[in-house]
Structure 1
Amino acid sequence: MKKEPKRTNFRSLLGTGIKAVLVLEGLGLVATYGLWNRMNNSQDFRLKVYTYCPPVLESYYLIGEMLGSLPTKKHDYDKWGVARDK
């Protein structure tokens, strides 16, 4: 008697897909928090981000302004000697 390979059904694939999406969402959340935390605590890291990817830093400043935090952008640009656009 031959053994038939086990068939995967739609529910099994759906469950696996949902688990994969949840794991990826979790990893994305952890990575985003890690980036925010590092930018929030290190002016030198913000300078690196300003050098290599200014839109990411501008998004950080925009969110900070929306939440009403300290004027981090002004302090950073004054220390770095960068002309502010506003």
Structure 2
Amino acid sequence: MPPKSMEPLAKRLMRGVIALELVGVFGAYGLFHAMNNSQDFRNTMNKRFPSILEVYYKSNEWAGIPGIRERDHEAWTAKQE
């Protein structure tokens, strides 16, 4: 009896890797979309995951959309007063 080929296992692993990558891409897009549309969500991200919010600010500044960080800080300090 010849040994089974590794082809079915390789296909299954490749499909799993592709599925995980797609979940990651759509998850990252969903997070970006939520941060892009809601200043309150960005405030929550600032409290819980400041490093992720920093990446959001840097990516927008790199893309030529400055001032989001400053507007957020102004709004958040005005809310606290």
Percent of aligned positions that are identical: 33
Residue aligning to 1:11: 7
Aligned in 2, Cα 1:8/1:23: closer, same or farther, shift over 3 Å? farther
- 2:38 paired with 1:42: yes
Mind listing any 5+ residue stretches in structure 1 that lack a counterpart?
1-6
How does the TM-score come out when normalised to structure 2?
0.87
Residue aligning to 1:73: 69
Higher Rg? 1
Residue aligning to 1:26: 22
> 2: CA distance between counterparts of 1:38 and 1:8?
47
> 1: CA distance between counterparts of 2:13 and 2:36?
34
Q: State the number of aligned residues.
A: 77
How does the TM-score come out when normalised to structure 1?
0.83
> 1: CA distance between counterparts of 2:66 and 2:41?
18
Aligned CA RMSD, in angstroms, stands at: 1.8
> 2: CA distance between counterparts of 1:58 and 1:27?
22
> 1: CA distance between counterparts of 2:17 and 2:43?
33
How far does residue 20 in structure 1 lie from its aligned partner after superposition?
0.5
**Any idea what the Cα deviations from partners look like across 1:19-65, whole Å, max 9, x if unmatched?**
00001100111100000000000000000000111111001000000
Range with bigger deviation, 7-16 or 32-41:
7-16
